[in-house]
Structure 1
Amino acid sequence: MSAAASEAPLLEVRGLAMHFPVSEGVVLSRKIGDVKAVDGVDFTIGRGETLGLVGESGCGKTTTGRCILRLETPTAGQILFDGQDISHMGRKDLVGLRRRMQVIFQDPYSSLNPRMKVGDIIGEPIKVHGVEPDVRKRDARVRELLSVCGLDPKFADRYPHEMSGGQRQRVGIARALALDPEFIVCDEAVSALDVSIQAQIVNLLEDLRERFNLTYLFIAHDLSVVRHLCQRVAVMYLGRIVEMAAVDELFDNPLHPYTQALLAAVPIPDPRVEATRDFRPAPGEVPSPINPPSGCVFHPRCPKAVENCKRARPVLRELRPGHWVACSEVN
């Protein structure tokens, strides 16, 4: 599953798992199970590439991103960043890593400190990491970042509540760029914004990637945004990746039954066409991650499921060049 680039990938995830214990009782609590938020995920991201990670709510996308950023310590697996395993790296060693990996959060309202001015929010990581101790040079850097992200440098003296949602998200992007990172996790970075503002932010992210040679993990559920911004797409279902391919290949030729159902659920803008199309959603509900199905996790809802799907967990297979599918019934 190597990236298209001939050089070694910037990020490689091998068998990543993140299980959260579930306990009952208050005084004498005992463990009764695990929430298997991420349960064996493998993928790579090449330098300068944008990988889209899609799937419905609760499938483990955000937890995957948090593990890569080491905001969570994974239960199992390896996370190789620039060839170095960071999956169980100590706190002191992570300090240097923080400068190379950043995140843009989903909600521009709650991710910015309402008691800090915008200039202080952006300048804080520069100050904490000792990148620029001189106050004047640091302020100049903050204003430069605001300008790069399409904001008036005078906004440095404003508070977040004095700005619109799109402007706040641009502040979040400027903060992520403050330490000149190589890799950024965009966690639903446009989902809380109006559609017109979404387009502006997506175009900004694309321009920044080309300008600074950034690498993105773009977590989203809006497939139209993913198709515009990403080079490759990985589809998650219940903590596992079920399909991964180049963006046009996956949208034009989805092979896994879940990917087919996901793409079929996207509404068509023309109401006349939408009214006549034959759409059949996947039957049933998403199983609980506390007790996921045996074998293929999608088999209770899959129209192609056979008896073997209940027993054997399918592995990702490269059925076409660069097109990986975890389904034993697809050839």
Structure 2
Amino acid sequence: MTGIAMTDAGADRPLLEIKGLHMHFPISEGILMRRQVGEVKAVDGVDFSLRRGETLGLVGESGCGKTTTGRCILQLERPTSGAILYDGVDINTLSRSERLALRRRIQVIFQDPYSSLNPRMKVGDIVGEPIHVHGLAPDAARRRARVRELLQVCGLNPGFADRYPHEMSGGQRQRVGIARALALEPEFIVCDEAVSALDVSIQAQVINLLEDLRERFGLTYLFIAHDLSVVRHLCQRVAVMYLGRIVELADCDELFDNPLHPYTRALLAAVPVPDPVIEAGRNFQPVLGEVPSPINPPGGCVFHPRCPKAVESCRRMRPALRELRPGHWVACSEVS
């Protein structure tokens, strides 16, 4: 199995650039005469980039917009505004045939291995379907050989090609999902909570598999997660989201060792310590209040209603994402 060749022209530029991404879902009411009465601001101005061969972790609480960002990149949702540049080309402007060609280069590993696989199809057909659709192996015998190779690469017995998903464990199903994502030899994979539905022992195996595949095939990952321990093990950089916006972005070790944004500090402080003695002696103070509704987010800094460092200007002005240290970006006017 070989990855897609990288051109010299694109070697130095980011593989993916997100600029001013917004995804607002309309809220309508009425039966005969539908009218829009509001909108859910799921993603409200997101900027980041991915270098070739790296893994970027996208973390935050449930409902912060992580998965919606991934779906926009995959073109499963059409963004309200903003640019998604893949290898220098805005994919929002592509024609249908051009988007189909792009599918070979961008794939996804879904969160739930129980619902992401068709229960009426055998594993061999599930993994082989994208190969058949894109015409990579028109011959059935070559397609079966390719499927068996992919299953073996993902740590499964090639004989599993004749099984149905219900005959496999959760970890085995997720490996099938990974094999399906690799079938088209992509260069970029969106991992949407790819291990959160698995047991902890199985999580470690799948994480190690993803890392091995990244090194072997030169893959680039956007790793969407809420488990910070998994992110620290797998990712080179981490972006923290809150209410549809990125509040901090830095190299993994830098962010975990020196968090600057008050929300990032609260998020890391909430991680329990395995040692019960240390955990009992910790002076942990949870963030007060509830996450505001994305239907009516607060003005200025979206975190200011819960922030212990908020001042009057935080209520009026939305802080820009600033590079306070080399490679360390923070959206907070009170941090320097």
Q: Which range, TM-score by smaller chain?
A: over 0.9
Report what 1:172 is aligned to: 177
Match of 1:270 among 269, 275, 284: 275
Tell me how far 1:324 sits from its aligned partner.
Answer: 0.1
- Report the secondary structure of 1:130's partner residue: coil
Tell me how far 1:97 sits from its aligned partner.
Answer: 0.3
1:203 correspondence with 2:203: no
**C-alpha distance in structure 1 between counterparts of 2:333 and 2:287, whole Å:** 18
**C-alpha distance in structure 1 between counterparts of 2:240 and 2:138, whole Å:** 43
The farther-off stretch of 5-14 and 109-118 is 5-14
The farther-off stretch of 195-204 and 274-283 is 274-283
Tell me how far 1:17 sits from its aligned partner.
Answer: 0.5
Match of 2:68 among 63, 67, 92: 63
Tell me how far 1:89 sits from its aligned partner.
Answer: 2.4
Match of 1:129 among 129, 134, 153: 134
Query: What amino acid is aligned across from residue 146 of structure 1 in structure 2?
Result: L
Report what 1:117 is aligned to: 122
Report what 2:3 is aligned to: none
**C-alpha distance in structure 2 between counterparts of 1:19 and 1:172, whole Å:** 29
- Report the secondary structure of 2:85's partner residue: strand
Asked if the contact 1:73–1:88 (Cα under 8 Å) also holds between the matched residues in 2, the reply is: no
1:236 correspondence with 2:241: yes
- Listed as ranges, the gaps of 5+ residues in structure 2 are 1-9
Residues 129-148 of structure 1 deviation map (CA, whole Å, 9 limit, x = unaligned):
00110111110000000000
Residues 212-265 of structure 1 deviation map (CA, whole Å, 9 limit, x = unaligned):
000000000000000000000000000000000000000000000000000000
- Residues 6 and 120 (structure 1), Cα distance of their counterparts in 2 relative to 1, 3 Å cut: closer
Report what 1:245 is aligned to: 250
**C-alpha distance in structure 1 between counterparts of 2:95 and 2:335, whole Å:** 42
Tell me how far 1:6 sits from its aligned partner.
Answer: 7.8
Tell me how far 1:22 sits from its aligned partner.
Answer: 0.4
- Report the secondary structure of 1:44's partner residue: strand
TM normalised by structure 1 equals: 0.98
Match of 1:101 among 83, 90, 106: 106
**C-alpha distance in structure 1 between counterparts of 2:95 and 2:286, whole Å:** 45
Report what 1:187 is aligned to: 192
CA RMSD of aligned residues (A): 0.9
**C-alpha distance in structure 2 between counterparts of 1:73 and 1:39, whole Å:** 14
Identity %: 80
Report what 2:313 is aligned to: 308
Query: What amino acid is aligned across from residue 131 of structure 2 in structure 1?
Result: I
Match of 1:146 among 124, 136, 151: 151
**C-alpha distance in structure 2 between counterparts of 1:172 and 1:74, whole Å:** 26
- Residues 304 and 38 (structure 1), Cα distance of their counterparts in 2 relative to 1, 3 Å cut: same
- Report the secondary structure of 1:87's partner residue: helix
**C-alpha distance in structure 2 between counterparts of 1:213 and 1:201, whole Å:** 17
**C-alpha distance in structure 2 between counterparts of 1:215 and 1:298, whole Å:** 31
**C-alpha distance in structure 1 between counterparts of 2:66 and 2:95, whole Å:** 24
TM normalised by structure 2 equals: 0.96
Query: What amino acid is aligned across from residue 198 of structure 1 in structure 2?
Result: Q
- Aligned residue pairs total 327
Residues 120-167 of structure 1 deviation map (CA, whole Å, 9 limit, x = unaligned):
000000000001101111100000000000000000000000000000
Residues 86-130 of structure 1 deviation map (CA, whole Å, 9 limit, x = unaligned):
024232221000000000000000000000000000000000000
Residues 35-57 of structure 1 deviation map (CA, whole Å, 9 limit, x = unaligned):
00000000000000000000000
**C-alpha distance in structure 2 between counterparts of 1:49 and 1:62, whole Å:** 19
**C-alpha distance in structure 2 between counterparts of 1:206 and 1:93, whole Å:** 30
Tell me how far 1:271 sits from its aligned partner.
Answer: 1.1
Tell me how far 1:277 sits from its aligned partner.
Answer: 0.5
- Report the secondary structure of 1:17's partner residue: strand
